[in-house]
A = this chain, B = another copy of it.
Amino acid sequence: MPSGEDSLIARYFRPIATDPGAFGLMDDAAILKFSGDDLVVTTDAIVEGVHFLPDDPADTVARKALRVNLSDLAAKGATSAGFVLTLALRALDDGWLTSFARGLGEDAGHFGCPLLGGDTVSTPGPLTVSITAFGRVPAGRMVPRSRAKPGDRIVVTGTIGDAALGLDILKGGTVAGALADDPAATAMLVERYRVPQPRDALALAVREHASAAMDVSDGLAGDLAKLCVASSVSAVIDAESIPRSSAVRGLVKRGIVGIEAVVSGGDDYEILCTIPENRFEVFAQAAGVAGVAVCSIGTVIAGTAVPRFLDGTGREIVLQRLSHSHF
């Protein structure tokens, strides 16, 4: 006579918990075997209406919940080892859960990060997905935020600003109207918001070459400021060199959005890292082999000032806010 929670777990999640340490989700705990590596632990939750929208497809909710954690692991130079899931649900909706578990299982397989265990609780509030993910690095080799040095190059992966504009579209903001005749760009920006792309392929190169790294989740400007504080340095960024998709470039050029929406918007889930100058070439080569676009956007400098963003003429861009904060 299993309880509702047991049935739910057996039906939706046991099929994707194939790691032996998960015990088929039949026990109270999971096992991670030690391997001689350090275990890197990260935890990130996403809340309906805050980090995803009630209309977002269930499979993309699952993918985003896992990927925001995989993004953290990659930025720390870690190889993913598994995750545990806490799901706070209002009700049992078979269609939603089936889609959620399918998206989660596909991503767990694709990124080699098995479901190890979890907890399912009922809530009268918004759906909340909380994941704690585990990665491995050789002992002492986790890439911290705190070792950037003056002279290091500042590098980001992928493109910045897409996800924030995708959210604007989903909320029916000005970007939605401006792209009304461009369904491909609209779909791309929405997809970037709903399904971030963890840069796991770059984890090894980050570990080998970066002096400091983190993922960009709350906005490039704010996250760079955090990295600088942790490293007791400052930075100068050439805003023109910040990599942007052609959709974002077009919107900025047309004056639909300003640079602030791009660099302070959040939800990018790209890697921000600092690379010593004499390592940059080999790092860029490794990134090419890994198939991850990387772009040098500025330089670490001495000092404690908030990082400065300069426009094409070398003038400082005054940012009203650096990042998205929920509080």
Q: Does A282 contact B (CB under 8 A)?
A: no
Q: Which residue of B lies closest to A90 (CB)?
A: B125
Best-surrounded residue of A38, A43, A215, A306 (most CB of chain B within 10 A) = A43
Instruction: Check B128–A123 contact: CB distance below 8 A.
Output: yes
A46 to B88, CA, bound (A): 9
Report chain B residues within 8 Å CB of A78: 29
Instruction: Check A45–B86 contact: CB distance below 8 A.
Output: yes
Interface SS of chain A: mixed
Q: Does A214 contact B (CB under 8 A)?
A: yes
Interface positions, chain A 1-35, Cβ under 8 Å from B, are 1-6, 8, 23, 26-35
A235 to B86, CA, bound (A): 31
Instruction: Check A4–B86 contact: CB distance below 8 A.
Output: no
Chain A 78-95 interface mask (CB, 8 Å, partner B; 1/0): 100000111011001000
Q: Does A180 contact B (CB under 8 A)?
A: no
Interface positions, chain A 70-111, Cβ under 8 Å from B, are 72-73, 75-76, 78, 84-86, 88-89, 92
Instruction: Check A119–B43 contact: CB distance below 8 A.
Output: yes
Q: Does A39 contact B (CB under 8 A)?
A: yes
Report chain B residues within 8 Å CB of A46: 121
Instruction: Check A38–B33 contact: CB distance below 8 A.
Output: yes
Q: Does A50 contact B (CB under 8 A)?
A: yes
Report chain B residues within 8 Å CB of A206: none
A145 to B135, CA, bound (A): 27
Instruction: Check B121–A72 contact: CB distance below 8 A.
Output: no
A255 to B177, CA, bound (A): 68
A323 to B4, CA, bound (A): 11
Using A4-B325, A144-B23, A144-B27 as known contacts, say yes or no to A43 and B117 having CB atoms under 8 A apart. yes
A76 to B29, CA, bound (A): 8
Q: Which residue of B lies closest to A68 (CB)?
A: B119
Distance in angstroms from A233 CB to nearest chain B CB is 14
A237 to B50, CA, bound (A): 48
Given contacts A32-B41, A43-B86, 15 further A-B contacts (CB under 8 A): A1-B225, A3-B323, A5-B326, A23-B146, A26-B146, A28-B145, A31-B41, A31-B142, A34-B36, A41-B134, A47-B125, A86-B86, A120-B327, A124-B126, A132-B132
Closest 10 CB pairs of A and B: A125-B125, A4-B327, A3-B325, A122-B326, A132-B132, A32-B39, A29-B42, A130-B130, A43-B84, A45-B86
